[in-house]
């Protein structure tokens, strides 16, 4: 990937649930897994495996960013505070859950515009097809892989492991 695209990644920011901005630049040097999430989806139990990845790899340089989205079947209807409470109460989530976004269409969050352009889906389609689509970004801002909703987070562990320094 060229440096213009990686610099663009680092120029972006995510809106956190408290309204503050999380500059992606602050994640330079970390492996990032971005996931669009929903509380009422058949894939919602993936939160458990995402938390396991966070527990296992965050100290070695992995950051998981979850972006709630209500664009697929209305499966994330709650307000930010309700979403955060659901995640922590039901799945013990401690990784960052951002403010609700759109991932497709003219109001798509700039982070998702960038990710979809850098790693299109099946047959070159940029559109996110469903909740729990995942993007793996390396320490330098390269979008390496787009994973379908059906790919469980535990199946991504091998790819994450390859990018991280060895365990101490």
Domain boundaries, the chain: 31-163
* Rounded-to-integer distance, Cα 84 and Cα 93, Å: 8
The model's pTM is: 0.94
Q: pLDDT in tens for each of the 168 residues of the chain?
A: 445 566 689 999 999 998 999 999 999 999 999 999 999 998 889 999 999 999 999 999 999 999 999 999 999 999 999 999 999 999 999 999 999 999 999 999 999 999 999 987 776 778 899 999 999 999 999 999 999 999 999 999 999 999 998 877
User: Which residues are 65's β-sheet partners?
Assistant: 34
Average pLDDT score, the chain: 92
pLDDT, position 3: 57
Reduced to 3 DSSP states, what percent helix, strand and coil does the chain have, rounded to the nearest 5?
Answer: 40, 20, 40
Q: Is the CA virtual torsion 48, 49, 52, 54 positive or negative?
A: negative
Candidate list 32, 37, 38, 41, residue with the active-site label: 41
Per the annotation, the verdict on 69 as an active-site residue is: no
The answer as to CATH 3.40.30.10 being correct for domain 31-163 is yes
pLDDT, position 99: 97
pLDDT, position 1: 46
* Rounded-to-integer distance, Cα 91 and Cα 76, Å: 16
Which stretches of the chain are assigned E, i.e. beta strand?
A: 13-15, 21-23, 31-37, 62-68, 134-137, 143-147
């Amino acid at each position: 990937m060229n440096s213009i695209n990686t610099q663009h990644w680092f120029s972006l920011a995510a809106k956190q649930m408290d309204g503050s901005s999380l500059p992606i630049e602050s994640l330079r040097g970390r492996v990032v897994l971005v996931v669009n999430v929903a509380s009422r989806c058949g894939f919602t139990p993936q939160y458990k495996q995402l938390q396991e990845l966070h527990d296992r790899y965050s100290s070695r340089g992995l950051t998981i960013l979850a972006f709630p989205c209500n664009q697929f079947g209305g499966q994330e209807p709650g307000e930010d505070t309700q979403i955060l409470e659901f995640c922590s109460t039901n799945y013990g989530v401690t990784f960052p859950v951002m403010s609700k976004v759109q991932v497709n269409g003219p109001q798509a969050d700039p982070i998702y515009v960038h990710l979809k352009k850098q790693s299109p889906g099946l047959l070159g389609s940029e559109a996110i097809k469903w909740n729990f689509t995942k993007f793996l970004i390396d320490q330098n801002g390269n979008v390496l892989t787009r994973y379908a909703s059906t790919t469980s987070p535990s199946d991504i562990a091998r790819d994450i492991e390859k990018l991280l320094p060895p365990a101490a």
